[in-house]
Amino acid sequence: MTDKQEIEIREALRQAIDEEMTRDDKVLVMGEEVAEYNGAYKVTKGLLDKWGPKRIVDTPISENGFSGLAIGAAMCGLRPIVEFMSFNFSFVAADQLISTACKQHYMSGGRFNVPIVFRGPNGAAAQVSCQHSHCVESIYGTFPGWYIIAPSNAYDAKGLLKSAIRANCPVLFLENELDYGKKMEIPTHDYTVPIGKAKVVREGKHITLVSYSRMLKNCLEAADEMAKRGIEVEVIDLRTIKPLDIGTVTESVKRTHFCVLVEEGHLFAGICAELGFQVMEHCLDYLDAPIIRVCQRETPMPYSKPLEYATLPNRERIIEALENVRKG
């Protein structure tokens, strides 16, 4: 008997939800098509049959309404998991998320916790154009009160979602539509991954390369290419955006003296802007060249497939940044 299983990210998320619903009867799921249709991306497949309609709840197309309902339920002791069919649709519920969920603990003087997870796909998919391709982490990240999590693989997706469900504050759990079918071997036993801890996924001594979520794949491919050229790139997966594990990043930069940051979101006021400034605060005397950012180009997402590829960070753009940072 093996203690490993090879599963897709969607199945890892499903296992996390199912195991936490078994562990805690206050956990429930709600959202559009999560029950009868088994979830838009089949993350909740089979959960309605197992747990019934009181714990797997289909909602109308009313993000503002069901988000408010879930926040109220969390304040009264339940632990809702709210699925957005796309995090782009969370903008309809922005007032609930920003004005209530992440501020209620402060506004109530600590009397109310809001243990709630908002989860679903974030960022671009395959030719869904500009209204369905937003990266929301920098928008919501500017407000205190959240945990913001963005895993890149099945192991972290399961372990971090379990930690998120157990957290006593609101969590934005950012997935990616194009990654749901990505497979990985993970343990069959119960485990969690700590919130707020980055991971060095590839060791190197010449350049520090930092990213998260779907962009990590491009970074690892770029690091493979640089290795053929004699440059050893250390790749760090942030995993959690807020709270940010700046310690793991700066320890690496102090050894390599060069830093490239990659995110799927836009350049202006993005996660890389914040991360880069913090790296500069902690590592200015260790940097041998300015930090380089590789982000989505400053344009709404095109529908055209070639233009979409050129707009997003890709392997070629990251390799170019890694070459240029060494030139100072």
Catalytic positions are 63, 132
- For 57, phi then psi, to 5°, come to -115, 115
Q: Is 259 helix (H, G, I), strand (E, B) or coil?
A: strand
Edge-to-edge strand list for the sheet holding 233-237: 199-202, 233-237, 207-211, 259-266, 292-296
Sign of torsion over alpha carbons 113, 18, 120, 164 = positive
Q: H helices then E strands: how many in the chain?
A: 12, 14
**Residue with tokens 């996924």, as numbered in its chain:** 201
Say how many Å lie between the first and final Cα of the chain, rounded. 53
**DSSP secondary structure string, 206-223?**
SEEEEE-TTHHHHHHHHH
Which residues, listed in sequence order, are joined to residue 81 by a DSSP beta bridge?
Answer: 29, 117
